[in-house]
């Protein structure tokens, strides 16, 4: 199956076999284009997708040693995401499917992230999924392909967004993404030096909130600037920035751990589920992976945790290809001539 991804600022394509083997893949990142703007600029992202999409698809096919005549189906992300960016990938996929008379599958971006956990290890349903990315932070009970129940979501900012804004506040280079920049800086910091509040500490549910933590980080940084008689956060000593980054990352993950504990307890009692998968771009964070693994092992009856390799946590073509494989296996397909894209795409509609 050929998969195409263009929901945000990465143009990806991949050819994936039904047994999960990635035969060929290609990715064109736009990080350098958007870094100067402090975030993704939709119009620039669309233009870059238009420029790169043909070459990326051709490269993925070439690496797989295939042409479209060898492809059995085409899958493409159709939402949620930036509508003008989604349209570039969807148009390309529709054209290929119609021209070469191939089955076509429109893919939900969040489902594709979740199903990546089944690609390398063939994890069985049911399981609990934690999706942490730049745009989403959700806990879901996953019973089968297309059968998902949202247990909790973000009330405001996502974890990835909080990482990105913390990186910008601290003046970190974000060409490789705000999350990796904060994670790298945090390794040199002491998380006990700066005190930050754990969000929703008094609420015993499974929702997330990172807006307050983001604001607290800004206030701490501004107080440090004032106390040292400096003019801006940029002037703070490296160690102070590292301590802020370490405290932010520690508290952000603690918040995840608390919500996960509530979800784990409920699922243990209701359904006997004891498998967790962590997916999405933030799942590439080493500290997060380590701490959630420790959490799973600390349960009275330990949980199994499965996290895709870091390169498969971020957006790429293989996720669309594999989700299409999974969908086709249960008899699902779409009409390429009628397929639309959706900036907002409620997960419950799947």
Q: What is the CATH number of the domain that holds 336?
A: 3.30.420.40
Residue 20 has pLDDT above 90, yes or no: yes
Measure the CA angle with vertex 215, ends 313 and 289; round to 5°: 25
pLDDT at 121: 61
* Whether residue 140 is found in the same domain as residue 280: yes
Residue 350 has pLDDT above 50, yes or no: no
* Whether residue 108 is found in the same domain as residue 218: no
* Whether residue 77 is found in the same domain as residue 95: yes
> What is the sign, positive or negative, of the torsion defined by CA atoms of 137, 139, 145, 149?
negative
**CA separation for the pair 216, 166 (Å, rounded):** 10
285 Cβ contact partners less than 8 Å away, ≥ 6 residues apart? 179, 183, 249
What share of the chain in percent tops pLDDT 70? 99
pLDDT at 88: 98
55 Cβ contact partners less than 8 Å away, ≥ 6 residues apart? 26, 28
Q: Which residue has the higher pLDDT, 13 or 36?
A: 13
Residue 199 located in a structural domain? yes
If you count DSSP H runs as helices and E runs as strands, how many of each does the chain have, helices first? 12, 10
| pTM for this prediction | 0.93
* Whether residue 96 is found in the same domain as residue 238: no
Average pLDDT for residues 157-170, to the nearest whole number?
Answer: 94
Q: Which residues pair with 279 in a beta bridge?
A: 131
Strand-strand pairing, 104-108 and 127-132: unpaired
* Whether residue 89 is found in the same domain as residue 192: no
* Contact (Cβ atoms closer than 8 angstroms) between residue 323 and residue 113: no
The structural domain count of the chain equals 2
Residue 92 lies in domain: 2-115+314-349
**CA separation for the pair 227, 315 (Å, rounded):** 41
């Amino acid at each position: 199956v050929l998969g195409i991804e263009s929901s945000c600022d990465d143009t990806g394509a991949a050819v994936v076999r039904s047994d999960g083997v990635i035969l060929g893949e290609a990715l064109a990142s736009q990080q350098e284009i958007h870094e100067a703007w402090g975030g993704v600029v939709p119009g620039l992202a669309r233009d870059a997708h238009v420029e790169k999409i043909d070459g990326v698809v051709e490269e993925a096919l070439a690496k797989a040693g295939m042409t479209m005549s060898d492809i059995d189906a085409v899958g493409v992300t159709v939402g949620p995401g930036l509508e003008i960016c989604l349209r570039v990938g969807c148009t390309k996929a529709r054209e290929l499917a119609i021209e070469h008379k191939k089955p076509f599958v429109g893919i939900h971006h969040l489902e594709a992230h979740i199903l990546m956990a089944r690609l390398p290890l063939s994890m069985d349903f049911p399981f609990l999924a934690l999706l942490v990315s730049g745009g989403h932070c959700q806990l879901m009970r996953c019973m089968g392909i297309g059968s998902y129940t949202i247990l909790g979501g973000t009330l405001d900012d996502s974890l990835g967004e909080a990482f990105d804004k913390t990186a910008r506040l601290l003046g970190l280079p974000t060409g490789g993404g705000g999350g990796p920049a904060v994670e790298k800086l945090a390794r040199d910091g002491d998380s006990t030096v700066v005190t930050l509040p754990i969000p929703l500490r008094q609420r015993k549910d499974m929702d997330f909130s990172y807006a307050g933590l983001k604001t607290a980080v800004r206030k701490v940084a501004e107080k440090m600037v004032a106390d040292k008689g400096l003019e801006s956060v940029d002037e703070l000593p490296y160690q102070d920035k590292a301590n802020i980054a370490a405290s932010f990352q520690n508290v952000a993950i603690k918040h995840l751990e608390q919500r996960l504990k509530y979800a784990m307890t409920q699922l243990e009692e209701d359904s006997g589920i004891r498998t967790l998968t962590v997916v999405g771009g933030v799942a590439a964070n080493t500290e997060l992976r380590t701490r959630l693994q420790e959490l799973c092992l600390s349960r009275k009856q330990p949980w199994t945790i499965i996290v895709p390799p870091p390169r498969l946590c971020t957006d790429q073509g293989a996720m669309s290809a594999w989700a299409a494989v999974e969908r086709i296996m249960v008899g699902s397909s779409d009409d390429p001539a009628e397929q639309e894209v959706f900036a907002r795409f409620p997960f419950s509609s799947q």
